[in-house]
Chain A
Amino acid sequence: MKAAVVVFPGSNCDRDCKSAIETTTDAKVEMVWHQDAELPQGLDLIVLPGGFSYGDYLRCGAMAAQSPVMRAVAAAADEGRAVVGICNGFQILCEALMLPGALLRNADLKYVCKAVELDVVNAQTRFTSRYGATRRATMTVGNGEGNFFADEQTLDRLEGEGQVVFRYRNNPNGSSRDIAGIVNARGNVLGIMPHPDRTFEPDLVSADGAALFQSVLASA
């Protein structure tokens, strides 16, 4: 099993992701610099970590979406490889048009940093198969622009196609229809605002994030 974590200037959860994956699965994790135009061979998972890539200049994730590595990430996704964008990584996937919608400023303008209860709306994705028994998870959020937005038609389509994967039980940021995480139509690209990489063992508030990495690597 092999995973890669992309490091952008301003990423601050890249090492958390590496630690989370290597602690909870058998995968080895390679760090990939954003200027690299090629990814390592044979990846089972590519993670875009949280943080403030490029200082959130212009819009969150906008500059990172244009970096050389993202062309390689998009090509890998086209091959069917699994891609997870967490927090800023979710913003980058939206800016790169690999996921629909966008992340707006939180509705109350506050940065929110706390544990949140999630419903696993679709436990049949390759990212959530191990949540099937409970269909619930606790993870932590840390975002100022985590307010998922898409037009009504897109939201209806996402819900209709089972692309809404995680939903907040108590919406912390104003996200449309309480959405915390979505997958693309093909089901191999996940964007999630809460941090599985910060909640992978009991000492970290919750160990529920582990099942996400375990699910996706078991699917490879």
Chain B
Amino acid sequence: MKAKVEVFLKAGVLDVQGKAIEGALHGLGFGDVSGVRVGKTIEFDVAGADAAKAEAEVKAMCDRLLANTVIEGYRVEVG
């Protein structure tokens, strides 16, 4: 099964990279852009056929290592 984890800074945490990119996009004339957030994607394979079990396991991985939940939130897709 494929697992895909997306990790982003939480809404209340200033994303300075996102801010810088937003400024650069404005500089290029893309003035409609706002709310840029930079995150990361982590993909991997999980053995087994039970999607619910795999998803629970991937969430545990996020809580313990893949995300720092003090500052980051995550989204998990398993399938």
Interface residues of A (CB under 8 A from B): 58-59, 62, 66, 94-95, 100-102, 104-109, 149-151, 174
Known: A102-B71, A104-B13. Contact between A62 and B20, CB under 8 A? no
Contact B17 A109 (CB under 8 A): yes
B16 at interface by CB-CB < 8 Å: yes
Known: A104-B9, A108-B16, A149-B13; 19 extra A-B contacts, CB below 8 A, are: A59-B68, A62-B65, A62-B68, A94-B70, A95-B68, A101-B70, A102-B68, A102-B70, A102-B71, A104-B13, A104-B14, A106-B16, A107-B16, A109-B16, A109-B17, A109-B20, A150-B70, A151-B12, A174-B16
Total interface residues on B, CB under 8 Å, equals 12
Contact B70 A149 (CB under 8 A): yes
Neighbour of B71 across the interface among A58, A104, A107, A109, CB < 8 A? A104
Closest-CB distance, A47 to chain B (whole angstroms): 23
Interface residues of B (CB under 8 A from A): 9, 12-14, 16-17, 20, 65-66, 68, 70-71
Known: A58-B66, A66-B65. Contact between A149 and B16, CB under 8 A? no
* A66 proximity list for chain B (CB < 8 A): 65
* B68 proximity list for chain A (CB < 8 A): 59, 62, 95, 102
Q: Who on chain B is nearest to A60 by CB?
A: B68
Q: Within the assembled complex, what's the spacing in Å between the Cα atoms of A105 and B9?
A: 11
Closest-CB distance, A206 to chain B (whole angstroms): 29
Q: Within the assembled complex, what's the spacing in Å between the Cα atoms of A123 and B61?
A: 39
* A94 proximity list for chain B (CB < 8 A): 70
